[in-house]
Structure 1
Amino acid sequence: MSPESIGRAGRWSIVVVALIATMCSFVFINGIAFVIPMLETKRETNLALAGLLASMPSFGMVLTLFAWGALLDRVGERIVLTLGSALTALATFGAASMDSLVGVGAFLFLGGLAAAGANSASGRLVTGWFPAHQRGLVMGIRQTAQPLGIALGATVIPELAEHGLARALMFPATLCAVSAVACAIGVVDAPRRPRSAASGAELASPYRDSKVLWRIHISSALLMVPQCVLSTFMLVWLIVDTHWSIAAAGGLVTGAQLLGALGRVLAGRWSDRVRSRLRPVRSLAAAGAVAMLALAAADHLHSPLAEAAMVFAAVITVLDNGLSSTAVAEIAGPYWSGRALGAQNTTQRLTAGIAPPVFGALIGVAGYPIAFALCALFPLTALRLVPVYAEPEGRSALAALRTLRVPPGSPPDSTAHP
């Protein structure tokens, strides 16, 4: 199947396959967080150590995200998605075979090295196959992979963990193996001119003489802190601190993630309508800070609204991811978007690796309300870093981005007006 034979329906089917593959990778990346209650009760593992184990996939991802992005710029999305999913499956099967937590952690780290490919590749498929006036919406749909993956993990893994860690890990391992086959069959690389036909301006580094991309990377990493803290500790908070059953807590986590998935789609559509990616990001940063402070206050006061505040915070703190990734891919252009998305995801996953053990230790010493309140400082800091000045004044930011580094005909209708 060639790019020329792909119609509108074909583009959507490709994105759906990539979304499923990315969702499966997030079941692996975030799944270990859902065995923390079992580790605490059956293996007597403290929260800081459990948080470190949950962070091992993110630490692995940090080391290879840029390398996967560079490979993506060279060989395309299909190979990266297929290879990354297959290697993630092998590493997770290896983790399931280990008896010691040290061995499990080592294989989770290796799985993170492999899982890094799916994030950048699926994001670049969106910018390669869809015109700018649809990218916010489509990237929002693609970004549902993370909350859907977390929701699926929260629904299935806690119950499996009651029968042992190995049983719980077999679930993401099997999903990633199936997704590797699906990517090999169903993904087609987005059309773009060969590098030999590109101009010097198109091949030039978007990081040269500009701090715009770096400001997006850093602000996104800061916004990641409350997101990964909540995704890691929401389940154990519900079970241990508010005394919910495993099934009920898993159901609430699943519901919050599904709301987050819907919210990402709406945020993407919002960015298309206002013709800006970065102004909505700044608004969401302010809302995230307020949500974390409200959660801290509700938990401290033992308010009956604490669970509702937790759900609201879990939803609002995930809505910026797709917008930032879309802005990065558009600004970087087709010949640098793989590496730029790799850098974007590297800063985010580094945060996701550091935050859970640090905040796990903080929760153990100071409690959840203090930890939630401190989380609010990170989106407040991000507010000043989001480079909204980079978006053109007096004209559509998307119209400008359509002509920036995007060669004619890539994708076929990339010059269409909103």
Structure 2
Amino acid sequence: MTAVDSPAHSAWRYRWVVLGIATFTQAASGFFVQGIGAIGIHLQRDLHLSTAQLGLLVSAAQLVPLVGLLVAGELLDRCDERWVVGAGAGAVAVGLLVASAAPGYVSLLLVLLLVGAGYSAVQPGGSKSVAAWFDASQRGFAMGVRQAGLPLGAALASAALPFVAEAFGWRATLVAGGLVALLGAAAFMGFYRRPPVTAAPREGGERASLRSRLGGRLRMVREPYMAQIMLSGTSLISVQCGVGILTVLYLHETASLGAGPAALVLVAVQGAGVVGRIALAAWSDRGGSGRRGSLVLCMAAVLVGMAVLMTPLGRSPAVACCTLVWLGFFGFGWYGPWVTHVTESAPPDRVGFALGLAMSVNQVAIVVMPPALGLLKDLADSFVPVWALLAAMTAAALTASARSCGRDDVRGPP
């Protein structure tokens, strides 16, 4: 038997299957929530919602992960990712199917909390599963492909859900989202398995191990590299939220596009995000400036896009569409290099916690920004203050990140 045909080599070839199912489960679990922006006009019409109330729907699904991501991170450091992610995706499916019977807006908000609880396990669990199967030479590319699942699911949702809502009503979109999430849960539980590497035993007894884990986690929170990761993450996730939830409304109200064409532009924006997450993450594997260099590039590009939207040029349908696609590539594409940076910065036995911590901080922005941006737009009756706020947040993060971009990538404690 040759080395190429050895069982170990065949087992490692399975990493591409793991990558495929992790990406599909990510796309399936985020399918409905990421598509809310595309059916925003239908929801506003049928439920008589303001822009702020529409944004609050997204926040409701993202509220529980503020704590849930930390809990999921701890579970992932202790349990098989197969069960953690599979159960999470299953909870998303159940939540959406139950939400389809919600009698009104308030009950819909409450049921979406269950959806958020399930997604808390899917996001860090899929990232850890991919990171475990790929080494540093391919990890950025693999993580970019996996993280492309979110805008991929959003693009498919943006293409399909408006037609479902128009033909069958908004409740049918929840049923569709639940069935898609159920497929994701079945795929991950049916095909995922851990890489063929046995983890080294931990030193000391259970009590010593518990004290060591707790101390290591507290030190991690105070590390400068984590502060930088969280600052860049919160600013860019805010941009992603703003573009995702407001693109259709902006094009409809400012550029005078119909609901259908505006939703198709959002599909293009999400598609650009898919390409961006893969391309930028792959570039970060080979670029001399590493992961942070990719993040700095994304933040600079976001500032350019926001500047265009704040000028009269942003009212031109052609310019607005091109600018939003630009923001899709960089404003969604940053996530691949960012997640890879988190996994590589953390100590090997605390990757799950690091992912949960960084993502839970992002959740603050994910919860706060959609209704806040919607309220700002309602109060000002203009999108310009919205883009200005996102530009200011990005500029602050870019300033902090650019100071250390020329140095070697900062890593966590060994």
Does TM-score exceed 0.5, indicating one fold?
yes
**Corresponding residue to 1:316 among 327, 330, 350:** 330
Q: Contact 1:128–1:334 at 8 Å: present in 2 too?
A: no
**Corresponding residue to 1:186 among 147, 168, 191:** 191
**Corresponding residue to 1:177 among 151, 169, 182:** 182
Q: Contact 1:298–1:309 at 8 Å: present in 2 too?
A: no
Equivalence for 1:25? 29
Q: Secondary structure at the match of 1:242?
A: coil
**Corresponding residue to 1:373 among 388, 394, 398:** 388
1:361 paired to 2:366? no
**Matched residues in 1 for 2:222 and 2:66: separation?**
25
1:14-66 residue CA offsets vs partner (Å, 9 max, x unmatched): 11101100111111332333332012223321111111112211112222011
**Corresponding residue to 1:91 among 92, 95, 98:** 95
Equivalence for 2:350? 336
Q: Contact 1:23–1:146 at 8 Å: present in 2 too?
A: yes
The residue identity in structure 1 corresponding to 2:174 is L
**Matched residues in 1 for 2:203 and 2:196: separation?**
13
Equivalence for 1:224? 237
**Matched residues in 2 for 1:148 and 1:159: separation?**
18
1:201-237 residue CA offsets vs partner (Å, 9 max, x unmatched): x964461762211320122111211111010111222
**Corresponding residue to 1:253 among 240, 252, 266:** 266
1:75 paired to 2:88? no
1:135 paired to 2:139? yes
Q: Secondary structure at the match of 2:256?
A: coil
Q: Contact 1:53–1:105 at 8 Å: present in 2 too?
A: yes
Structure 1 residue 327, shift from structure 2 partner: 0.9
Equivalence for 1:108? 112
Q: Contact 1:140–1:265 at 8 Å: present in 2 too?
A: yes
Q: State the number of aligned residues.
A: 397
1:307-355 residue CA offsets vs partner (Å, 9 max, x unmatched): 2222212322112211111111111133111111111111112211111
Q: Contact 2:23–2:146 at 8 Å: present in 1 too?
A: yes
Q: Contact 1:298–1:306 at 8 Å: present in 2 too?
A: no
1:52 paired to 2:56? yes
Equivalence for 1:159? 163
Q: Secondary structure at the match of 1:45?
A: coil
1:69-121 residue CA offsets vs partner (Å, 9 max, x unmatched): 11011102111111001111111111111111111111111110111111101
Q: Secondary structure at the match of 1:244?
A: coil
Q: Contact 2:60–2:112 at 8 Å: present in 1 too?
A: yes
Equivalence for 1:386? 401
The change in CA–CA distance for 1:316 and 1:70 in structure 2 (over 3 A counts) is same
- TM-score, normalized by length of structure 2? 0.89
The residue identity in structure 2 corresponding to 1:260 is G
Q: Which runs of 4+ in 1 moved over 6 A?
A: none
**Corresponding residue to 2:321 among 299, 307, 311:** 307
1:215 paired to 2:228? yes
**Matched residues in 2 for 1:301 and 1:180: separation?**
42
The change in CA–CA distance for 1:91 and 1:302 in structure 2 (over 3 A counts) is same
**Corresponding residue to 2:251 among 222, 235, 238:** 238
**Matched residues in 2 for 1:362 and 1:262: separation?**
31
1:253-295 residue CA offsets vs partner (Å, 9 max, x unmatched): 1112112111111101111112511122112212211211112
Q: Contact 1:63–1:113 at 8 Å: present in 2 too?
A: no
The change in CA–CA distance for 1:211 and 1:362 in structure 2 (over 3 A counts) is same
**Matched residues in 2 for 1:20 and 1:388: separation?**
37
1:263 paired to 2:252? no
The residue identity in structure 2 corresponding to 1:182 is A
The change in CA–CA distance for 1:335 and 1:75 in structure 2 (over 3 A counts) is same
- TM-score, normalized by length of structure 1? 0.88
Structure 1 residue 193, shift from structure 2 partner: 4.2
Q: Contact 2:52–2:372 at 8 Å: present in 1 too?
A: yes
**Aligned alpha-carbon RMSD (Å):** 2.6
Q: Percent identity?
A: 24
Structure 2: gaps spanning 5 or more residues: 1-6
Structure 1 residue 373, shift from structure 2 partner: 2.1
Q: Contact 1:281–1:320 at 8 Å: present in 2 too?
A: yes
Q: Secondary structure at the match of 1:284?
A: helix
Structure 1 residue 305, shift from structure 2 partner: 1.5
Structure 1 residue 195, shift from structure 2 partner: 6.0
**Matched residues in 2 for 1:32 and 1:193: separation?**
42
Q: Contact 1:24–1:176 at 8 Å: present in 2 too?
A: yes
Q: Secondary structure at the match of 1:371?
A: helix
Query: Which sits farther off after the overlay, 336-345 or 307-316?
Result: 307-316
Structure 1: gaps spanning 5 or more residues: 406-418
Q: Contact 1:124–1:337 at 8 Å: present in 2 too?
A: yes
**Matched residues in 2 for 1:41 and 1:88: separation?**
26
1:279 paired to 2:293? yes
Q: Contact 2:230–2:358 at 8 Å: present in 1 too?
A: yes
> What pairs up with 1:393-412 in 2 under 5 angstroms?
393=408
Equivalence for 1:413? none
Structure 1 residue 170, shift from structure 2 partner: 0.8
Query: Which sits farther off after the overlay, 280-289 or 380-389?
Result: 380-389
**Corresponding residue to 1:326 among 336, 340, 363:** 340
